Amino acid sequence: MAIAYLTRRVGFSAAHRYHRPDWSAERNRHVFGACNNPAGHGHNYVLDVTVCAPIAADTGFSVDLGSLDAILEEEVKGPLDHQHINHAIAEFADGGLIPTCENVVAWIWARIVGRMPDGVALHRLRLHEDDRLSVDYFGGGREPVCND
């Protein structure tokens, strides 16, 4: 069966701050710059979710979009949209992970990779923080083989 790579885009608006309590104020400012400002700042994040699956002969679908959208609503928009990531997500709380684009996209991967429908492989996540910065993530390794 022919394989297709479908990409669904979803957005969320969130705030974040970069800060390590085990570092001095000077070191935080030096390494994180304006991203260390105490109350944080924010972005209109855009996430591109690419899944890889064979095209079903009867429907012409590689994945059921209704199912995929429901997962993204529950696991991505629900917890992240209109939130301050450091305050809303336990892993990014003070002393935890820094909510960089890299860490946020890896967090989303871990959250949704096990929820893909049967026969559908999560292939790539691309998280855009703004028009000039994005991060691609393939589960932490290089571009994986699609299990077809």
Contact positions with a copy of itself (CB under 8 A) in 43-62:
43-44, 50, 55, 58-62
What's the Cα-to-Cα distance from 9 to each of 38, 70, 73, rounded to whole Å? 31, 13, 11
Contact positions with a copy of itself (CB under 8 A) in 77-96:
81-84, 86-88
DSSP state of 100: -
Does the footprint of a copy of itself cover residue 70 (CB under 8 A)?
A: no
Shortest distance, position 79 Cβ to a copy of itself, whole Å: 12
Does 35 participate in catalysis according to the annotation? yes
Alpha helices for the chain (secondary structure H): 25-32, 65-72, 78-80, 85-88, 101-112
Does 19 participate in catalysis according to the annotation? no
Shortest distance, position 135 Cβ to a copy of itself, whole Å: 5
Does 82 participate in catalysis according to the annotation? yes
Residue 78's H or E segment, with its range, is helix 78-80
Name, in order, each residue with C-beta under 8 angstroms of 147's C-beta and a sequence gap of 6 or more. Answer: 121
The smaller minimum CB distance to a copy of itself, of residues 99 and 115, is found at 99
Closest CA to 92 of 1, 6, 17: 17
Shortest distance, position 73 Cβ to a copy of itself, whole Å: 13
Of the residues 35, 75, 102, 146, only one is catalytic, namely 35
Please give the angle made by the CA atoms of 146, 102 and 34, to the nearest 5 degrees. Answer: 165
Candidates 75, 97, 111, 115; binder of a copy of itself (CB under 8 A) is: 97
Question: Catalytic residue positions?
Answer: 35, 82, 129
